[in-house]
Amino acid sequence: MSEEKNILEVEHLKKSFKVGVKLRPFQALSDVSFSVKEGEIYGFLGPNGAGKTTTIKTICNLVRPEGGTVKVLGGSFKDPAIRQQVGLMPEHAYYHEYLTAREFLQFHGKLCGLDQALLKKKIPELLERVGLSHAMDRALRKFSKGMLQRVGLAQAIIADPKLLILDEPLSGLDPIGRADVRNIMLDLQKEGKTIFFSTHILSDVEMICERLVILNKGKTIAEGKVADLIAPDSDHYEVQAGNVSPELKESLLKNSTLLVEKESGLVFEIKKEDVASFVNALVAGGALIIKVEARRPSLEDVFLDILKNTSEAEK
Amino acid sequence: MRSILTIAQNSFKESIRNRLFLNLLVFAIAMIILSLIIGTLSLGAEKRITMDIGLGAITIFGTLIAIFIGVSSFSHEIERRTIYTILARPVNRTQFILGKYLGIMMVLAVNTIAMAILVSLVLLMLGQPPTLLFWLADIMQLLALGVIAALAIAFATISGTVVAVIATLTIWVSGTLTDDLIYLARRADNPIVTGITEILYYILPDLSSFSLHTQVANNLEIPGGFISTALIYGISYIAIVLGLAALNFNHRELV
Ligand SMILES: Nc1ncnc2c1ncn2[C@@H]1O[C@H](COP(=O)(O)OP(=O)(O)OP(=O)(O)O)[C@@H](O)[C@H]1O
Ligand SMILES: [Mg+2]
């Protein structure tokens, strides 16, 4: 059990779909590569339509790749013994809605070969863990979106898988729900499981992953440590201040840009070296300082940055 | 084997919780009772005719269930994408098809037997206990439904709900007409028409080979070898259809 063992390995994956009446090929994946090591929470980040779900479907043998290779736990997902050790949570909670939460988990438990006695004990624990003990005997049809996400997570972990493949596990949840699910993911990692999950939200990845891959238009554009790829941009700061008089604002704008202007306050972006003088000027001008912080990049910032770097590297 | 049973059980559960199925069932029960009563009153309470009417109703509703519930139980899994998590389990696609087939067969068996009991009860109330032949005809009818259900599942593996339902309905109708079809075609002069019909005759299920309606209606003996021929024919037909369905479905992309 070395730390370096690859649990999931995807190399140069390619896939196109035939679209429209003319069945013209559309390249959904043109070159996707990454590898997930044992025991990590690995983020799969990309904007809508980047090809995250298509990659996951290819990994799970639902669609056939046109090129490239996928290795799951050192073997193929086609092998039932490998599938026994993987938990999948698909996008959009595609589950049997006529079943109750308990029946749904029983069904999946039995498909994994778990026996009735074990399931009887395990299912209530599992539902408790995902915060659904109150809805055990309710039909999934009557579940809210967030509840479906939770029951989906429960079915993914029912057979104690080594690897979890989760397609947007945090979407559709309220802030408390997001925190709950993030904590469950962290706990699962502590239990030794490897988690591969997709998202289009940068902060999800920053909060729980060490490494990630960024996908754009069917192509891996970056892979590596979160700290290296999406470090906060410490060259720029954001300062929020209230009670800024028009004259003060005029003079401040000489070495800053105004990001937001609201009644409650203004948000300026300034360079790191100007922070001290800027804050002094605010205080002298009688303004109220609300917040000073290093600017956090958005997903677009990270993209632009990476694209800029790669095009510079190509030159 | 266990996963096939688990899938079948789940499919059965879905069907009996399905509104369409419940509506069909209520309608069927009402129709059976009504037709039996009207039939008995107007045709002078002849037992063989009453049994024939009951058998007819069982056949029609069984077929509708085999086609509509058979197709939808499979295509729902694909269209609602519930198949994703199932196939992520140690279950292969052939087992999935067999599980789905077994599920609809459980529904059909329960349904056929329940309706036959219902008809028998009505007959008893009318003072005409059903014959053994009536029950035998019901069981053979279940075998015919097994063939239709296999076709329904097979079509659902290659197309969407609507197309699969239409295709299975078409085959059912032509399957009940095979004898007439071949008779007409053999009299036609056009060799192409004759040739195509001849081929169709062997591909289409010959549903008359499962039917004991005439025997029930006229209180005749069962022809020699009828049951063994029907069993061999039905089971091989089902096996071939499901085998081809599995062969094709194993290569299908589930997007
Ligand atoms: N079955 C299909 N037929 C045609 N095009 C498809 C099909 N599935 C996906 N695509 C296309 O492939 C691209 C990638 O889609 P995919 O669902 O993988 O994106 P995603 O990264 O999961 O996006 P999201 O964040 O919205 O879930 C999209 O442009 C989509 O339109
Ligand atoms: Mg997606």
Q: What secondary structure, in 3-state letters, does A201-243 show?
A: CHHHHHHHCCEEEEEECCEEEEEEEHHHHCCCEEEEEEEEEEC
Cβ–Cβ < 8 Å for B200, B174: yes
Residue B77 lies in a domain: yes
- Listed in sequence order, the residues at least 6 apart from A275 whose beta carbon sits closer than 8 Å to its beta carbon are A237, A239, A292
Is there a contact between A155 and B85 if contact means CB atoms under 8 Å apart? yes
- Listed in sequence order, the residues at least 6 apart from B174 whose beta carbon sits closer than 8 Å to its beta carbon are B181, B200, B204
Is there a contact between B84 and A111 if contact means CB atoms under 8 Å apart? no
Residues measured by CB to lie within 5 Å of ligand 2, the ion = A 52-53, 91
Number of domains in chain B: 1
Cβ–Cβ < 8 Å for A36, A209: no
Label residue B141 by pLDDT band (50, 70, 90): very high
Residue B201 lies in a domain: yes
Whether pLDDT at B34 is above 90: no
Rounded CA-CA distance A130/A187 in Å is 12
Residue B35 lies in a domain: yes
Locate the ligand 1 atom nearest the alpha carbon of residue A51 and give its number. 18
Cβ–Cβ < 8 Å for A184, A153: yes
* pLDDT score recorded for residue B247: 93
Q: Which has more confidence, A271 or B145?
A: B145
Cβ–Cβ < 8 Å for A87, A157: yes
B89 closest CB neighbour out of A90, A99, A108: A108
Cβ–Cβ < 8 Å for B39, B77: no
Sheet containing A233-242: give its strands across: A257-262, A265-271, A233-242, A288-295
Whether pLDDT at A1 is above 50: no
**How far does B120 lie from chain A, in Å, by closest CA?**
33
Q: Is the Cα dihedral B214, B220, B224, B225 positive or negative? A: positive
Cβ–Cβ < 8 Å for B219, B130: no
Whether pLDDT at A3 is above 50: no
Task: Report which bound ligand comes closest to the CA of A55.
Answer: 1
Is there a contact between B2 and A81 if contact means CB atoms under 8 Å apart? no
pLDDT tens digits for range B174-224: 888 777 777 777 777 778 877 887 787 788 888 888 888 877 777 788 888
Task: Supply the Cα-derived Rg of chain A in whole angstroms.
Answer: 24
- pTM for this model (two decimals): 0.85
Q: Are strands A67-72 and A6-19 parallel, antiparallel or unpaired?
A: antiparallel
Cα distances from B247 to residues A22, A96, B91, B95, B110, in angstroms, run: 28, 26, 16, 12, 29
Please give the angle made by the CA atoms of A210, A216 and A218, to the nearest 5 degrees.
110
Measured in Å, residue B72 CA sits from the centre of ligand 1 at: 26
| pLDDT, chain B, mean | 86
Residue B255 lies in a domain: no
Locate the ligand 1 atom nearest the alpha carbon of residue A28 and give its number. 12
Q: Quick one: average pLDDT of B231-245? A: 94
Structure tokens at B6: 């688990």
Q: A111-134 burial by CB neighbour count: b if 16+ within 10 A, else e? A: bbebeeeebeebbeebbebbbbee
Residue B163 lies in a domain: yes
pLDDT tens digits for range B42-93: 666 567 777 777 888 888 889 999 999 999 999 999 998 999 999 999 999 9
Rounded CA-CA distance A249/A252 in Å is 5
Domain encompassing residue B124: 2-250
* pLDDT score recorded for residue A188: 92
Cα distances from B232 to residues A260, B175, B226, B228, B235, in angstroms, run: 79, 17, 10, 6, 5
Cβ–Cβ < 8 Å for B208, B178: yes
- Neighboring chain B residues of A88 at a CB cutoff of 8 Å: 84-85, 88
pLDDT tens digits for range A208-264: 888 999 998 889 988 888 877 776 666 788 888 888 888 888 888 888 888 888 777
Locate the ligand 1 atom nearest the alpha carbon of residue A63 and give its number. 1
